[in-house]
């Protein structure tokens, strides 16, 4: 301290500055310490950025355990509520008609998704082939029902994830992933080691087992289920799953419990949370008001919801009135009104072009 005092005094003499008292010195030191603290604080804020949930899960060794648990399920498959019980590892097929390996139809930056997923470079969509729900009107009927796609191993799927990230996609959007959770987790481990660092979007039909969703806790950043029907009779007629409404309700509770409401960063990109889709069907078959009331009362009034009006007859729908037509303007407006009346006001505002019919 004496040496420091001497240096300060000598410097003052050389430059013609006033000699500092001990109180002056303490004040200056304190000021420097305050400035240093503020500078460090600013740096901390600057370098603190979003980290996908799966990074920590991998770092702590829990990802390997989740992979083992998920793969074990394949030998007597109960990944989804169908509970087929088939040995997919040995080649047996259940409702999803998928064996040991994932089947991918296509992958690319997709600009038709919700605004918080798209950004400037498009959501990194991976379209998986086959499905565990199999709606007769599926808008991707050739993929879900006809099985168009190619089998790939985990290393190839990991390369797809990394390729989409290299195209500056703000997320990896797993489209129809329910029946492929083990394969996705195995690929994820490989991709993380090679630098994957964008959020994972679980884009499902909502027909998801809570047990499988629990495996995904700490893996998925954004859940995006489609709550399709409220009426069990409608669900039975359109996808042979009368338990769909009950399953979807429990699945959404589990998803929201893991990730909460949708969080969007200052660039307008979603980083974590629940985003609910609701595909409108003709004649109110989707049960929109009941679905929205459930979301407001049992999930959150802050739920981010996309009421989708792009329904068009696909697959077997051409032969099933009223599914053999598109929506009317009034049907869409009534659905949005019902959502707002039930307390759901955080609606996706993406401007889209639909072939809506006059009443």
- Give pLDDT tens digits for 230-263: 999 999 999 999 999 999 999 999 999 999 999 9
Percent share of the chain, pLDDT over 90: 83
pLDDT mean across residues, the chain:
89
Question: What's domain 53-341's architecture?
Answer: Alpha-Beta Barrel (3.20)
Q: What is the C-alpha separation between 266 and 38, in angstroms, rounded? A: 23
Residue 13 has pLDDT above 90, yes or no: no
Q: What are the sequence ranges of the domains in the chain?
A: 2-45, 53-341
Residue 4 has pLDDT above 80, yes or no: no
Listed in sequence order, the DSSP H helices in 145-276 are 154-166, 181-193, 210-215, 232-239, 244-259
Cβ neighbours of residue 114 closer than 8 Å, sequence gap 6 or more: 224, 270, 275, 306, 348, 350
Residue 228 has pLDDT above 90, yes or no: yes
Least confident of 38-42, 208-212, 245-249, 309-313: 38-42
Question: So what's the pLDDT on residue 349?
Answer: 83
Helix (H) or strand (E) holding 271: strand 270-279
Least confident of 1-15, 218-232, 237-251, 314-328: 1-15
User: How many C-alpha atoms does 31 have within 13 Å on its Cβ side?
Assistant: 6
- Give pLDDT tens digits for 135-158: 999 999 999 999 999 999 999 999
Angle at 350 between CA 123 and CA 281, to 5 degrees: 95
- Give pLDDT tens digits for 90-118: 999 999 999 999 999 999 999 999 999 99
Cβ neighbours of residue 32 closer than 8 Å, sequence gap 6 or more: none
Residue 181 has pLDDT above 80, yes or no: yes
DSSP assignments along 301-344, one per residue: TT-EEEEE------GGGGGSTTTTS--BHHHHHHHHHHHHHTT-
341 or 36, which is more confident: 341
Q: Identify the sign of the CA torsion 93, 132, 176, 134.
A: positive
Token output for 214 = 């629990």
Residue 346 has pLDDT above 50, yes or no: yes
Q: What is the average pLDDT across 67-89?
A: 98
The 10 Å CB-count burial string (b at 16+, else e) for 112-148 is ebbebbbbeebbbbbbbbbbbbbbbbbbbbebbbeeb
């Amino acid at each position: 301290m004496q040496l420091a005092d001497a240096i300060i005094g000598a410097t003052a003499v050389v430059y013609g500055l006033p000699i500092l008292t001990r109180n002056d010195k303490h004040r200056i030191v304190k000021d420097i310490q305050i400035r240093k603290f503020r500078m460090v604080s600013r740096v901390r804020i600057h370098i603190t950025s979003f980290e996908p949930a799966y990074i920590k899960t991998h770092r702590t060794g829990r990802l390997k355990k989740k992979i083992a648990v998920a793969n074990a399920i394949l030998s007597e498959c109960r990944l989804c509520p169908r509970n087929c019980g088939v040995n997919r590892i040995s080649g047996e097929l259940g409702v999803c008609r998928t064996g040991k390996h994932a089947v991918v139809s296509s992958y690319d930056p997709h600009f038709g998704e919700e605004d918080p997923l798209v950004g400037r470079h498009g959501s990194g969509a991976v379209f998986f082939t086959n499905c565990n729900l199999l709606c007769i009107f599926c808008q991707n009927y050739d993929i879900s029902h006809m099985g168009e796609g190619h089998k790939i191993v985990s290393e190839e799927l990991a390369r797809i994830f990394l390729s989409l990230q290299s195209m500056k996609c703000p997320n990896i959007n797993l489209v129809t992933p329910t029946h492929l959770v083990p394969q996705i987790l195995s690929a994820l481990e490989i991709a993380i080691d090679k630098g994957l660092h964008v959020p994972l979007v679980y884009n499902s039909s909502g027909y998801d087992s809570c047990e499988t969703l629990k495996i995904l806790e700490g893996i998925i950043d954004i859940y995006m289920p489609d709550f399709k029907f409220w009426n069990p009779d409608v669900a039975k007629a359109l996808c042979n799953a009368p338990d769909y409404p009950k399953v979807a309700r429990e699945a959404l509770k589990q998803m929201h419990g893991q990730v909460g409401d949708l969080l969007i960063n200052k660039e307008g990109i979603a980083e974590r949370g629940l985003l609910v889709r609701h595909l409108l069907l003709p004649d109110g078959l989707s049960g929109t008001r009941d679905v929205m009331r459930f979301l407001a009362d049992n999930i959150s009034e802050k739920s981010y919801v996309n009421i989708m009006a792009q329904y068009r007859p696909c697959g077997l729908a051409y032969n099933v009135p009223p599914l053999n037509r598109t929506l009317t303007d009034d049907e869409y407006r009534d659905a949005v009104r019902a959502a707002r009346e039930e307390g759901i006001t955080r609606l996706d505002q993406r401007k889209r072009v639909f072939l809506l019919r006059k009443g």
